[in-house]
């Protein structure tokens, strides 16, 4: 085990962390504001990847494909919210788990009907196929570097949106105390549809970014969904800052653990971390509501 491998693995960890952050930012807000468990969040990730792959094939351009796929995912997200999730706010967590689990089954099957059961492969975007030399002797794939950069940009934009704009302030207030915000005359339903659309867009964006490095296939959303749930539990439900810290933490623990720990322990490491956090800090690292 040498230093350059450790650096590359840490970068891979940060890259995975960025993806996880894109996934968890929306989910943690949905969770925090409406107290809704949405297991179907992974389906939006999957749809994002499929849409991007299809539009890329049609247009021949990665960026153009992405620009078309993003509104499509947001639209699907809003449709889901209006058609099903809206009815689930008053139900308990068990019902929410079941209904959104059923949505996973539905979307997996829908994708298999529309796109067929075989995996898709997305081409790398133009000009990002090579590697970059970060330090003398350490080369890193340019596309993965681009993911880190895009993730950081989105995180910054999200931070500005949530901490510095009026709508962001309402979202934060909603995550801390939904009833009070509603009582102050804010249309909490509209706010939530907006948050859900935003979360869907971020999840779809993560799926699009993941497309070229993973294969686009049915069930791709489920493995990342579980990691996302781990992130938002560790970070504290409803806290975007907590989601960011936990996402990077989980990303690095997972990838660095794979080279430093024995295989059996490495794949269990993040779940052990989560159980430990829940044991000592049941509300997560950065609880949103006090």
Task: Please identify which residue in 5, 71, 95, 131 interacts with other proteins, judged by CB under 8 A.
Answer: 95
Q: What are the tokens at 279?
A: 């044991």
Q: How far apart are CA 273 and CA 225, in angstroms?
A: 17
Stretch of 3-11, 47-55, 127-135, 272-280 contacting other proteins, by CB under 8 A: 272-280
Please report whether residue 281 would count as binding other proteins according to CB under 8 A.
no
Q: How far apart are CA 243 and CA 285, in angstroms?
A: 9
Q: What is the DSSP letter of 118?
A: S
Nearer to other proteins, 212 or 284 (CB): 284
Q: Going residue by residue from 135 to 164, which x/- string records binding to other proteins, judged by CB under 8 A?
A: ------------------------------
Exposure of 205 by Cβ count < 10 A (0-12 exposed, 13-18 middle, 19+ buried)?
buried
Please report whether residue 102 would count as binding other proteins according to CB under 8 A.
yes
Nearer to other proteins, 241 or 258 (CB): 258
Please report whether residue 290 would count as binding other proteins according to CB under 8 A.
no
CB of 115 to other proteins, least distance (A): 12
Size of the site for other proteins (CB under 8 A): 41
Nearer to other proteins, 84 or 194 (CB): 84
Stretch of 6-14, 171-179, 202-210, 267-275 contacting other proteins, by CB under 8 A: 267-275
Nearer to other proteins, 7 or 78 (CB): 78
Nearer to other proteins, 103 or 122 (CB): 103
The C-alpha R_g of the chain, in whole angstroms, comes to 19
CB of 101 to other proteins, least distance (A): 5
Residues with Cβ within 8 Å of residue 195, at least 6 apart in sequence: 26, 29, 30, 33, 171, 174
3-state secondary structure of 281: coil
Helix extents (H) in the chain: 3-34, 41-59, 62-83, 93-115, 142-164, 166-176, 178-183, 188-210, 220-235, 240-260, 263-280
Q: How far apart are CA 145 and CA 287, in angstroms?
A: 31
- Judged by the rule CB under 8 A, the positions of this chain that interact with other proteins are 31, 37, 84, 87-88, 91, 93-95, 97-99, 101-110, 112-113, 222, 226, 229-230, 233, 237, 263-264, 267-268, 271-272, 274-275, 278-279, 282
């Amino acid at each position: 085990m040498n230093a350059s491998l450790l650096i590359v693995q840490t970068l891979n960890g940060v890259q995975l962390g960025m993806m996880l952050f894109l996934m968890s930012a929306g989910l943690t807000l949905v969770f925090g504001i409406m107290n809704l468990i949405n297991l179907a969040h992974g389906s939006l990730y999957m749809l994002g990847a499929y849409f991007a792959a299809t539009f890329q094939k049609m247009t021949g351009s990665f960026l153009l494909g992405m620009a078309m796929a993003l509104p499509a995912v947001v639209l699907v997200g809003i449709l889901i919210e209006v058609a099903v999730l809206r009815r689930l706010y008053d139900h308990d967590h068990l019902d929410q788990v079941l209904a959104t689990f059923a949505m996973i089954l539905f979307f997996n099957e829908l994708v298999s009907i529309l796109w067929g059961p075989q995996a898709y492969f997305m081409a790398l975007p133009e000009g990002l196929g090579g590697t970059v030399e970060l330090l003398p002797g350490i080369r890193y794939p340019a596309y993965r570097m681009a993911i880190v950069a895009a993730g950081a940009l989105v995180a910054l934009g999200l931070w500005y949106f949530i901490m510095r704009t009026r709508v962001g302030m309402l979202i934060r207030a909603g995550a801390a105390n939904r009833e009070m915000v509603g009582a102050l005359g804010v249309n909490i339903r509209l706010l939530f549809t907006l948050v859900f659309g935003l979360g869907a867009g971020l999840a779809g964006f993560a799926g699009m970014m993941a497309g070229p490095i993973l294969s686009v296939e049915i069930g791709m959303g489920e493995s990342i969904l579980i990691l996302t749930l781990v992130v938002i539990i560790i970070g504290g439900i409803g806290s975007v800052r907590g989601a960011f810290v936990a996402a990077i933490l989980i990303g690095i623990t997972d990838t660095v653990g794979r080279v430093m720990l024995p295989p059996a322990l490495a794949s269990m490491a993040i779940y052990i971390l989560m159980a430990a956090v829940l044991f000592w800090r049941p509300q997560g690292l950065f609880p949103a509501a006090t």
